[in-house]
């Protein structure tokens, strides 16, 4: 079996790579060095050359609440282009299994929690990341169309908020875990007395370690699970306030945590209903405290 991984240098792609390296599958770990996913010909050339049975698309323009809201056009355009080029490339090829990755933000703001797969397109999106979500929803629709008309087997996975080693650590533009780790580490080094967490601290988030998510992808391949749409969560939910205090302990920061209510909260709660994948027999292994320790160690040494 030949597996082509697009976006193999990012948070998900790097963890997928580590998981697949432990198997005997023939893999091509593609990155922007060998393939320009914004270009149809470059995408098609890589796929035709390697002739994969499976494509795992981990390539995406991603970011936290601030980056999503500030760069709406780029997030929408780049994610559309990546998915359009991969799907358009395979239209004329023999059947391929495509594992296409989305995000829990594709679900409506008022979806009932825990959010089941059937909530898709049942209401309006959360405004801070609606542009990104719209690109991902379009990719799901495109994948479902290609599946029906061209016989490819497209499986859309919707992971909950991911974090871990190989994350993109940026003070302003990353997701909450790498953002807090980076900024709080700086606060510790500079003996800052107060540390400001964005928003009210009340939003609830479910976090899944990217290594666990990578293992769920292998589980789906090896157990030949073929659902169109599948949530992948941890069922471990914390408030941003609780998360900040766990990170404070992990980093050993001694200052006071305050909340900057001028910054947006985004979605008040997005806990996925992952009953389907749990019933298939997959379970996450890395607890949040442990995963945060590993992420912090990785951050310091990288």
Q: Does 65 bind ligand GDP (CB under 6 A)?
A: yes
Q: Taking Cα atoms as reference points, which of 292, 226, 225, 271 lies closest to residue 119?
A: 271
Name the token pair of 75.
């997030």
Is beta strand 204-209 parallel, antiparallel or unpaired with respect to 237-239? antiparallel
Give whichever of 138 and 264 is closer to ligand GDP, judged by the CB atom.
264
Choosing from 61, 81, 175, 248, the residue that interacts with ligand GDP (CB under 6 A) is 175
Q: Taking Cα atoms as reference points, which of 239, 247, 263 lies closest to residue 65?
A: 263
Residue 155 CB, shortest distance to ligand GDP, in Å, is 23
Name the token pair of 49.
């050359």
Q: Which x/- pattern over 18-57 shows residues binding ligand GDP (rule: CB under 6 A)?
A: ----------------------------------------
Residue 229 CB, shortest distance to ligand GDP, in Å, is 19
Q: Does 156 bind ligand GDP (CB under 6 A)?
A: no
Furthest-apart CA atoms within the chain: distance in Å: 61
How long, in residues, is the chain?
A: 302
Query: Kindly report the CA angle at 236 between 235 and 239, in degrees rounded to 5?
Result: 125
Encode 203-216: b = buried (16+ Cβ within 10 Å), e = exposed. Answer: bbbbbbbbbbbbbb
* Stretch of residues binding ligand GDP (CB under 6 A), selected from 3-11, 31-39, 51-59, 173-181: 173-181
CA atoms within 13 A on the CB side of 265: 16
Give whichever of 64 and 114 is closer to ligand GDP, judged by the CB atom.
64
Q: Does 267 bind ligand GDP (CB under 6 A)?
A: yes
Mark whether 280 is an active-site residue: no
Q: Does 164 bind ligand GDP (CB under 6 A)?
A: no
Q: Does 176 bind ligand GDP (CB under 6 A)?
A: yes
Give whichever of 255 and 264 is closer to ligand GDP, judged by the CB atom.
264
Strands (E), the chain: 2-6, 26-29, 54-57, 97-101, 153-159, 161-163, 194-198, 204-209, 229-232, 237-239, 256-260, 269-270
Q: Which x/- pattern over 186-225 shows residues binding ligand GDP (rule: CB under 6 A)?
A: -----------xxx---x-x--------------------
Residue 276 CB, shortest distance to ligand GDP, in Å, is 22
Which positions touch ligand GDP (CB under 6 A)? Answer: 64-66, 105, 129, 161, 175-176, 179-180, 183, 197-199, 203, 205, 240, 263-267
Catalytic residues: 132
């Amino acid at each position: 079996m030949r597996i082509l991984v697009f976006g193999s240098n990012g948070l998900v792609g790097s963890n997928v790579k580590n998981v697949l390296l432990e198997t005997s599958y023939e893999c091509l770990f593609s990155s922007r060095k060998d393939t320009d996913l914004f270009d149809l010909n470059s995408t098609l050339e890589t796929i035709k050359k390697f002739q994969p049975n499976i494509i795992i698309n981990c390539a995406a323009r991603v970011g936290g609440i601030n980056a999503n809201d500030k760069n709406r056009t780029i997030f929408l355009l780049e994610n559309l282009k990546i998915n359009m080029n991969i799907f358009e490339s395979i239209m004329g090829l023999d059947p391929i299994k495509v594992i296409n990755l989305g995000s829990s933000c594709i679900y409506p703001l008022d979806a009932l929690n825990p959010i089941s797969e059937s909530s898709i397109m049942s209401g309006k999106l959360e405004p801070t990341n609606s542009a990104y979500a719209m690109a991902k929803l379009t990719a799901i629709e495109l994948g479902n169309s290609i599946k029906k008309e061209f016989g490819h087997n497209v499986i859309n996975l919707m992971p909950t908020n991911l974090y871990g080693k190989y994350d993109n650590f940026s003070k302003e533009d990353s997701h909450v875990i790498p953002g807090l780790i980076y900024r709080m580490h700086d606060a510790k080094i500079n003996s800052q007395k107060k540390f400001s967490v964005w928003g009210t601290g009340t939003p609830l988030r479910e976090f899944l370690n990217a290594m666990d998510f990578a293992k769920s992808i292998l589980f789906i391949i090896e157990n030949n699970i073929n659902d169109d749409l599948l949530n992948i969560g941890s069922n471990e939910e914390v408030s941003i306030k609780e998360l900040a205090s766990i990170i404070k302990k992990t980093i050993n920061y001694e200052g006071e945590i305050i909340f900057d209510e001028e910054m947006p909260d985004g979605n008040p709660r997005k806990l996925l209903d992952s009953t389907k994948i749990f019933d298939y027999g997959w379970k996450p292994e890395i607890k949040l405290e442990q995963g945060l320790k590993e992420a912090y160690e990785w951050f310091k040494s990288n």
